[in-house]
Amino acid sequence: MIRGVRGFAYDDGVLKAGRISLADVARACGTPTYVYAARGIREAHEEVVAAWAPLGAKIHYAVKACSNLRVCRFLRELGAGMDVVSGGELERSWLAGTPMSDISFAGVGKTDEEIAAALSGAHSPLLGSPQTLRGADPTGRGPVGLFNVESRSELERIAHVASRLGVRARCAVRVNPDVDAKAHAYTSTGRKENKFGIDVAGVPGVFDAFAGHPFLELIGLHVHIGSQVKVVEPYVEAVEALLDLLGRLETHGSHIESLSLGGGWAVDYGSGDAPPIRAYAEAVTPLLAPFVAKGLQVILEPGRSLVAASGVLLTRVQHLKESGERRFAICDAGMHTLIRPALYQARHFIWPVVCGASTPPRGESPIASEDLATYDVVGPICETSDVLGNECAMPRLARGDLLAVFMAGAYGMTMTSNYNDRGRPAEVIVTDEGAVLVTERQTLADLLATEENPRPLDLD
Ligand code: LLP
C-alpha cells in the first residue's frame, strides 16, 4: 500500500478506511475535511508500547500533534497519558478523561493562570466560561503529574503560584543538551541557540536554588531534541548527557525519579528514510535499563509517530490551469488547512480518492506512465507559498476531482488558520463502528462571533 500510511487503503480504485469510502465521507460533509483512521492510531500506539516495553516507559501523547477531543479520548482509552503545552491542551486532556496525574505540562511560556489551572483545577479565564466545557467540574481534580520546566524564571513563577495555592508542584527540568537532531531548522530544539530548556551547566544551580522548597518537588529531568528526527545518534548523546547530569545531581543530594525523553521520532512521508520506532528504543535501552532497574521512570512524549500516518486531508479540485510548463490543480485546501508544505517544505503524498485502475505508487516516485501528469497542487490563498505539493505526478485530473493528502494526521488540523476568512475544516473519525463527524466545519458566523460585541474599554 502507500508507504508509511496506516488505516487507509485503495479498494477497487477507491480510497477507504476499513469499509468506509472517503468519497462518501466527502459527499456527506464536504471538503476540506480531515479523516482519521482509529485502527491506524491503535496500530501505531501498539508499536510504540511494544518498542519501549523493556523500559516500562510511560507514553504521554503530545497533544499538539492532533488535539481533537475524540482522538485524545481514543488514545487515553488505549492507556496513554498526555503531554500538553497550554491551558487549552490541559483542559482537552482532562475532558478526554485523563487523570491530572497522567498529564505533563511543558512549554516555554506558561502564564500564571495556566500554572494555577494545572495546580488547582481552577479554570483559566482564557478558556472562557466553564459552561463551554460541557459542565466538566475541575474542582478537586488535583495537580498535574509533572511540570516540564524550561527556565529558572518559570520555576520561580511555579513556586510562587504553588505557595499561594498551598499545593506542591512536581517538576522536571528541561535540559538543553546542545545536540544536533539534524531535523529541519524550525523543528530542531536541542541546540544551545534554541529557546528551549536550561543548558547542562546551569541545571545543578537550579536544583540547588530550589532544594527544600516547601511547595516544589524537583524530581525529574526532561529533554526533547526536535521533531521528525531521522537519526538515533542524537538521542543517545542526549541520554548520555542526562544520565551524567543525573549522577551529579544525586551526588549532591537530589533524587531523580523520572526521565522524560520527549518525542520526535520520524515517520515515513514517502522518502523511506525514517527508522522504525523500535530503532529509537533499542538505541537507548542499554543505557537506561540499569537505572530503570533501580526505580527510574522513563516518560516519552510521541506526537507525530502516533497519529501522522492515520490522517488524510480530503480536498476537491476547484480549477485546473496551465502556465508555461506548470500545470496547477487549485484546491479548496491550502496553507490555511495544512501549512507543513509552506512552512517546512514538507512533502505529503497526494493521489485522487477515486482513481480507477491507476493504483498509487509506493512512496514518492511514481512509475512513469503516459497516464500520469505532473501537477503543482495549490490552494486558494493569496500567497505564492500556498502549496500542498509541488510537482506531484498523478493520473490526469478533472475539475471536481477529490484528492487525498496523505500522512496529514499530525500537525495538520492543529496548525490551521482562518487566513483569508476561511473556516477551519471538518474532522471525521472512522472506527470499526463507522464514520463519525467529530468536528463541524467552521462557518463565517463562528469567525464573526468574537467581533459581535464591540464595547468601549473601561481603562480607569
Ligand atoms: N515533546 C515536546 C516538548 C515537543 O515540543 C514536541 C513537539 C513533542 C514532544 C512531540 O514531538 P513529535 O513526536 O510529534 O515529533 N509542526 C512541526 C512539528 C513541531 C513539533 C513541536 N514539538 C511539523 O509539522 O513538523
Q: What is the pLDDT of residues 228-252, one digit of tens each?
A: 999 999 999 999 999 999 999 999 9
Hey, which of 149, 154, 304, 388 would you mutate to test ligand 1's pocket, going by the most ligand atoms within 8 Å of its Cβ? Answer: 304
For residue 227, the ligand 1 atom closest to its alpha carbon is 15
Cα torsion through 318, 323, 325, 328, rounded to 10? -10
**DSSP conformational letter for 27:** H
For residue 266, the ligand 1 atom closest to its alpha carbon is 15
Report pLDDT digits (tens) over 404-421: 999 999 999 999 999 999
Hey, which of 45, 60, 64 would you mutate to test ligand 1's pocket, going by the most ligand atoms within 8 Å of its Cβ? Answer: 64
Instruction: Assign 349 a pLDDT band (cuts: 50, 70, 90).
Output: very high
pLDDT at 74 over 50: yes
- For the chain, residues classed under CATH 3.20.20.10 are 39-304
Cα 416 to Cα 338: distance, rounded to the nearest angstrom: 6
Residue nearest to atom 23 of ligand 1 (CA): 411
Ligand 1 contacts CB of residue 264 (under 6 A): yes
Predicted TM-score (pTM) of the model is 0.96
Model pLDDT, residue 427: 98
- For the chain, residues classed under CATH 2.40.37.10 are 9-36+308-448
Stretch 193-207: mean pLDDT: 91
Ligand 1 contacts CB of residue 270 (under 6 A): no
Model pLDDT, residue 309: 98
CA of 410 to the centre of ligand 1 (A): 9
Hey, which of 84, 227, 229, 268 would you mutate to test ligand 1's pocket, going by the most ligand atoms within 8 Å of its Cβ? Answer: 227
Task: Look at residue 251 and give its three-state secondary structure.
Answer: helix
More confident residue, 183 or 238: 238
Which are the contacts of 54, defined by CB distance < 8 A and separation ≥ 6? 281, 285, 289
Model pLDDT, residue 366: 46
Q: Helix/strand/coil (H, E, C) string of 126-178?
A: HHCCHHHHCCCCCCCCCCCCEEEECCHHHHHHHHHHHHHHCCCEEEEEEEECC
Which are the contacts of 172, defined by CB distance < 8 A and separation ≥ 6? 104, 146, 147, 148, 149, 218, 219, 220, 221, 222, 258, 260
Q: Cis (ω within 30 of 0) for the bond into 32?
A: yes
Cα 353 to Cα 9: distance, rounded to the nearest angstrom: 10
Q: What are phi and psi of 15, to 5 degrees?
A: -75, 130
Stretch 40-57: mean pLDDT: 98
The residues annotated with a catalytic role in the active site are 382
Element (H, E) at 88: helix 87-95
CATH top-level class of 39-304: alpha beta
Stretch 270-276: mean pLDDT: 93
Q: Are 292 and 320 in contact (CB under 8 A)?
A: no
CA of 123 to the centre of ligand 1 (A): 26
Q: Which of 11-15, 31-35, 295-299 has the lowest mean pLDDT?
A: 11-15
Model pLDDT, residue 133: 58
Ligand 1 contacts CB of residue 150 (under 6 A): no
Report pLDDT digits (tens) over 366-403: 445 667 999 999 999 999 999 999 999 999 999 999 99
More confident residue, 112 or 191: 112
Model pLDDT, residue 139: 75
CA of 457 to the centre of ligand 1 (A): 38
Three cell numbers, residue 428 = 471525521
Q: Are 262 and 301 in contact (CB under 8 A)?
A: yes
Ligand 1 contacts CB of residue 341 (under 6 A): no
Q: Are 427 and 345 in contact (CB under 8 A)?
A: no
Ligand 1 contacts CB of residue 184 (under 6 A): no
Name the CATH code of domain 9-36+308-448 (choices 3.20.20.10, 2.40.37.10, 3.40.50.800, 3.90.550.10).
2.40.37.10
Query: Which residue reads 502507500 in cell numbers?
Result: 2
